[in-house]
Amino acid sequence: MVPQHPGVFAVNTLVLVLGLIAALGPLSIDMYLPVLPSIASSLNTPESAVQLSLAAYFLGLSLGQLVYGPLSDTLGRRKPLLAGLALYVVASLGCAWAPTIETLIAFRFIQALGGCAGVVISRAIVRDLFTQQEAARVFSRLMLIMGAAPIIAPLLGSALVAWNPAGAGWRSLFVVLAGVGLVTFVCSAKLIQETLRKEFFSENERGVPEKRSLLATYVSLARDRTFMAYALAGGLAQAGMFAYITGSPFVFMNHFQFGATAYAWLFGANALGLISASQWNSRLLRTNSSERILGGALVGLATAGAALVIVSFCNASALVLAVPLFLFVATLGLTFPNAAACALANQGHRAGSASALLGTLQFVIASLASGAVSALREGSSRGMAAVIGTCGLLALATFFIGRPQTRKYVRPHL
């Protein structure tokens, strides 16, 4: 069944609202990083304890997705989304008020439980409204925000600390996040209508939505070879990104002696490559299927990862190392939108659950890759390069082994 298709103006408005929802994640994480020392000083607690608040956010982000997915398939997209955004606003204000580190950790967990509703449901909404080809285009446009937010967010966090370094700066950060969450809630309430079609609602004879078994739904998805191929390929590619984020500060600032400004330029250049590739993806989708672009992108990803390993073990200079690293990160701009679109394409009645499992798998694999980089940190670029290269090769292998072998690529007519 072909998804309902909104008009051009409605599509642009929807993308803006979904982009605002997508920005909550990077803002909640990356704005927070520069204020960690300030929180430790203000609450008179070790920095290791403050880092637990970040871990609590990641835990809430991972667990919450698994709940919102089935809820959005049963109750519709709109109600769980608005409930999650409301919870995010309240929890953000709780973080701003938190008198102790224990309270802050608890509210950060609740904040993540609210914020992850947008992560899951925004992908499901795109799946509800667009065909696979068009969904890949929409995801590409959202990559503009997802790529720019990690650059802007730390600068905003640093500015808030500089504005009031005595301690209130980090509290104002959460007030700002609550304000962004409130604006997102209002825009979502006014501009996003229910997108789950009535025939997909599961109701009993009294018209009350039935509760589907979470375990049965996720087991069924795990047995879907096509979905898992695309989800794992996308997850492994994202794991390479996390390995880069975890390892690159130590590689370039400690090993190659980059200053903070020089590293910021390097990070920004890679983010620009990611954004540019995601916008190029929209053009490619006019004449190529999303599966074909994804396959080519994963070949490029594996090649760049292998090149990164080679130059790293040859003790190449920072400039030489930066070239395959740039190519790897940029290629993710082609990988992410198409992997999501392909994974969700045939999941109409359970798109919310599929989106949730997709996000959780990506997060779990990325966390493992990040941990591997930390464990392999030995004063050079080899550990980071090895993890990134492995992620690229495994993503390519997963895609070609698991995808449907009989499916032919057909030029779309959009």
* Predicted confidence (pLDDT) per residue in 340-386, tens digit: 999 988 887 788 888 889 988 888 888 888 778 878 866 678 889 99
Instruction: State residue 368's pLDDT score.
Output: 86
Alpha-carbon span 246 to 374, nearest angstrom: 7
Query: pTM of the prediction?
Result: 0.77
Report DSSP state, residue 414.
Answer: -
Q: Which amino acid is at 208?
A: V
Instruction: State residue 411's pLDDT score.
Output: 43
Whether 212 shows a pLDDT value over 60: the answer reads no
Whether 410 shows a pLDDT value over 60: the answer reads no
Whether 198 shows a pLDDT value over 70: the answer reads no
**For range 257-280, the mean pLDDT:** 83
> Which has the higher per-residue pLDDT, 113 or 407?
113
Q: What is the per-residue DSSP string for 25-91?
A: HHHHHHTTGGGHHHHHHHTT--HHHHHHHHHHHHHHHHHHHHHHHHHHHHH-SHHHHHHHHHHHHHH
Q: How confident is the model at residue 405 (pLDDT cuts 50, 70, 90)?
A: low
**For range 220-234, the mean pLDDT:** 91
Q: How confident is the model at residue 52 (pLDDT cuts 50, 70, 90)?
A: confident
Whether 47 shows a pLDDT value over 70: the answer reads yes
Closest CA to 397 of 319, 278, 305, 271: 305
If you search the block for the tokens 């992560």, which residue do you land on? Answer: 119
> Which has the higher per-residue pLDDT, 294 or 168?
294
Instruction: State residue 161's pLDDT score.
Output: 67
